Amino acid sequence: MAARLYIVVPCYNEEEALPLTAARLREKMEFLITSGKIAPDSRVCFVNDGSKDRTWEIIRGLHEENALFSGVNLSRNRGHQNALLAGLMTVKDRCDVTISMDADLQDDIEAVDAMLEKYAGGFDVVYGVRSRREKDTSFKRSSALTYYHFLERLGVESVYNHADYRLMSKKALDGLAEFHEVNLFLRGMVPLVGFPSATVEYERGERVAGESKYPFRKMVAFAIEGVTSLSVKPIRFITNLGIAIFIIAIIAAVVFVIQYFLGMTVPGWASTVVSIWVLGGLQLFAIGIIGEYIGKIYLETKARPRFIIQDILDSNKEETVK
């Protein structure tokens, strides 16, 4: 029996891209259904992440025109990771397998076939991995490479050149549902779920329409989120740095005492000022890292909901929320 597939697509201010994206996805889904690769009641689920434009209106229109399209409307903007998780958790009891992708169609939808083949071969998680990054700027390419290596050094299990284009089985989604943290970095959380996994390579394209929702500022914030959500090694680094500075201070004190008795001391402010600035900067840096972790602990202890769903449109569910 063919598996029921839900493709989950987070959307934020995507009114320009949605009609084009929906047309491409409808064509792909109809082909997969006709060829018997997925069940006839498979769906495309668009998740509206509190958009300020006509995104939800378009999603609702798509659902009314064609039962193939379903929709989840969040009560407010919660960010890409929360919107994606909201979609996955909403559909996990309605499907056998999900595939998540972005609304800009930079992820090659032709890779869906290969992902489904891997799933049929017994893999519960299939990661879409970029085969090359020639279309990126040299800065973005080098910074991405550095970041992946940095995560690896911190002990974070991640998949190189993988974003959020992935297949997850119902079993893998149930495992992901056991993670309750508020600070989400799904690229690092999914590998923690375990289960057999595989990769599928694809070439990332250009946006079909609209502008990128990830400027440099958001990319940096997302990178910090990934580090602090999955590793405590930065705090251990502070401890090791403190020990090293303490040892250096003891050695310096011994040297200064010897120079004093040998009459080799040279009065001056340079060394004093440099020491104050270096130690002061290190202290502020250490306090900042510790504060980042304390802030996350503060948010986690509040146990606030990661998302609140306002509307659900899905013809596979009798009790549709409207």
Helix axes 233-261, 270-302, angle to 10 degrees: 160
Six-digit token string for 134: 């020639």
Distance from C-alpha of 73 to C-alpha of 138, rounded to nearest angstrom = 37
Residue 285 bridge partners (DSSP): none
How far, rounded to the nearest angstrom, does the alpha carbon of residue 132 sit from its chain's CA centroid? Answer: 20
pLDDT at 269: 46
pLDDT at 188: 74
Q: For residue 217, what are the CA distances in angstroms to 144, 222, 223?
A: 15, 9, 10
Six-digit token string for 70: 């379903």
Residue entry with tokens 């020491």: 275
pLDDT at 59: 92
Query: Could you read off the pLDDT of 38-57 as tens digits, one per residue?
Result: 899 899 999 998 888 899 99
Are the CB atoms for 116 and 32 separated by under 8 Å? yes
Sequence letter at residue 17: A
pLDDT at 320: 47
pLDDT at 293: 74
Six-digit token string for 238: 């502070």
- Percentage helix, strand, coil, to 5, in the chain? 50, 15, 35
* Digitized pLDDT (tens) for each residue of the chain, 322 residues in all: 788 999 999 998 888 889 899 999 999 999 999 988 989 989 999 999 888 889 999 999 999 889 899 999 998 888 888 888 889 989 888 888 999 988 888 888 888 889 998 998 889 999 888 876 555 556 565 666 676 666 666 666 666 777 788 899 999 999 988 888 777 777 778 888 888 888 888 877 665 555 555 555 656 665 666 556 666 667 667 767 776 776 776 676 677 667 667 766 566 544 665 566 567 667 767 777 777 777 767 666 766 677 778 888 887 765 444 4
Residue 311 bridge partners (DSSP): 73
Give the H or E element holding residue 199: strand 197-202
Query: Could you read off the pLDDT of 172-186 as tens digits, one per residue?
Result: 999 988 888 777 777
Sequence letter at residue 151: L
Six-digit token string for 162: 């993988």
Are the CB atoms for 84 and 164 separated by under 8 Å? yes
